[in-house]
Chain A
């Protein structure tokens, strides 16, 4: 069955077609969710919400752009919704002055899971900006609009996210050296 046929049957709420569409795209979209969420449970929640929206709004898809791109956008928006829907306000952080860090190692020496964990362990507001800007090529202006923050805040959060990542990589490196 072609993608067009699959979309057509999904528009008619055919559960078999919906299941097939889910099987085809679940891994890709789950990868996006993992990069935006703190843990696997949250990522699964976002994936679930994304597919529900995809199936209920598929009638609005007009075949103009790529279907994958449309689904990816929905998934990122759902991840942002999840970020906004947090039950409590994040308290302000005091930036700690960190020394200039140089990491010579290439990230290839780390496993994919370890890299993902580093991103997931970032504080929510840093992780969401880092993922949008660095992993999905959003501009600071777009991020500011999506997250209801200023462009300056977006830049500053990105900077802090990178700083934390560097520090973590250094910690891991030093642990390796001592080990």
Chain B
């Protein structure tokens, strides 16, 4: 065997007879993994779906809430006189529906006559029962809006809805009368009438739209009738500004964990005890979107340190770390000789009976994009947070005993993302400055570019100050 070719052949010949049985655990693991394959995507899809659904829910909830506020202030009192409404003493003002009274006579002249004195087929009834609700209802209105409404209240308030209803009623009555009483009403007459209504409706709807655009916080409310009432309005109308731009500065101790018991460095270390400590510093800008919804973005510096304790030379040898069992072939790096572990750096020399630690230090810059929805807005503000973050890898080092830099991990993606969910509690300490406390869970999705079992997440408790301007 005096040349390289022969040694290759000799090994091939010898190893061709190699047959060994794996341990029984392998099949058990295969079965487990095959079953897991069905569940795993569901879990991760579910996590993502939850975040998306919560986000959509937040927006829909806010939208609906705003719409309900407006609609609830308009109640309909069909077919009832103002007297009846007053007697009922409801706890809010009610602007009655505009009722169209039509009496289509069965004569041959084919005209439509109307009951009542209103030549526009509209009758607005405003009732008052409770002064408290009255004040509340107008809390967001300015004096100017009221002036406008006073001038045009018979046209503006609720007319769009009423006219729509009126059109429907008219059509229905027309059809009924045609069948039941066989009254000949010409199509032209009806169309003329309908066109007139449409014109009025269009003008009034535009008017309402304009008011809505100019005054987004407008709430339909009863109209003041006397000067005294106007004075009450003036006194009680204090527009509380809640939508501020905000800048926050926070520090965050983070618990860095994995959904599965594993080591981020090497599977050989999965059974050893590990410590995880993390610290992040964060600057963020919040921009108001709706009344209670804010969009937040900024950046954070995150330093992770994953420490694997109680390692022995034997554990290292069984790992995938760049160790070479050969002592005499001039390896740069760390080596095992017998049970000793040492490196070309003389500071590192570990006896077989001693234990040591491996540190994995990773640094990210985080760019979060989050939405914050205000759930409670009293002295203490309580916000629901959800969104995503992008993490840009800055550095990663693997060290022995935090002194000897061994190498860098090569399985970490340079750009990863997280799904974030949590709460923010704010307490005012000065006029424009709040103290904030934010417990937030961040789940990382593509941290590693291989099939490691390590599925990391952060749980951070940020605290800091928010400046509102």
**B-chain residues with CB within 8 Å of residue A18 when the two chains form the complex:** 34
A143 close to chain B: CB less than 8 A: no
A134 close to chain B: CB less than 8 A: yes
Given A27-B20, A162-B7, A56–B26 Cβ distance below 8 Å? no
Residue of A nearest to B25 (CB): A44
| Segment among A60-68, A69-77, A101-109, A146-154 that sits at the interface with chain B | A101-109
**B-chain residues with CB within 8 Å of residue A27 when the two chains form the complex:** 19-21
Given A48-B33, A112-B14, A134-B8, A19–B328 Cβ distance below 8 Å? no
Within 8 A of B (CB), among A14-45: 15, 18-19, 22, 26-28, 30-31, 34-35, 38-39, 41, 43-45
Residue of A nearest to B267 (CB): A45
A121 close to chain B: CB less than 8 A: yes
Q: Are B26 and A47 in contact (CB under 8 A)?
A: yes
Q: Are B1 and A103 in contact (CB under 8 A)?
A: yes
Residue of A nearest to B323 (CB): A123
- How does the 8 Å CB contact mask read for A109-127 relative to B, with 1 for contact and 0 for none? 0101001100101011000
B12 close to chain A: CB less than 8 A: yes
A85 close to chain B: CB less than 8 A: yes
Assembly CA distance A150 to B331 (angstroms): 22
Which of A41, A87, A112, A135 makes the CB contact (< 8 A) with B12?
A135
A89 close to chain B: CB less than 8 A: yes
**B-chain residues with CB within 8 Å of residue A105 when the two chains form the complex:** 1
Interface residues on A, range: 35 or more
Which of B1, B11, B27, B34 makes the CB contact (< 8 A) with A135?
B11
Interface residues on B, range: 35 or more
Within 8 A of A (CB), among B424-469: 450-452
Given A134-B12, A162-B7, A93–B18 Cβ distance below 8 Å? no
**A-chain residues with CB within 8 Å of residue B20 when the two chains form the complex:** 27, 30-31, 34
A95 close to chain B: CB less than 8 A: yes
**A-chain residues with CB within 8 Å of residue B51 when the two chains form the complex:** none
B330 close to chain A: CB less than 8 A: yes
Q: Are A41 and B318 in contact (CB under 8 A)?
A: yes
A175 close to chain B: CB less than 8 A: no
| Segment among B128-136, B345-353, B404-412 that sits at the interface with chain A | B404-412
Q: Are A106 and B22 in contact (CB under 8 A)?
A: no
Q: Are B332 and A94 in contact (CB under 8 A)?
A: yes
Min Cβ gap B452→A in Å is 8
- How does the 8 Å CB contact mask read for B320-345 relative to A, with 1 for contact and 0 for none? 11101110111111000000000000
Min Cβ gap A87→B in Å is 5
Which of B18, B23, B27 makes the CB contact (< 8 A) with A35?
B18
B31 close to chain A: CB less than 8 A: yes
B residues sitting closer than 8 Å to A (CB atoms) are 1-2, 4, 7-15, 17-23, 25-27, 29-31, 33-34, 37, 265-268, 318, 320-322, 324-326, 328-333, 398, 406-411, 450-452
A residues sitting closer than 8 Å to B (CB atoms) are 15, 18-19, 22, 26-28, 30-31, 34-35, 38-39, 41, 43-45, 47-49, 51-52, 55-56, 84-96, 102-108, 110, 112, 115-116, 119, 121, 123-124, 130, 133-135, 159, 162, 164-167
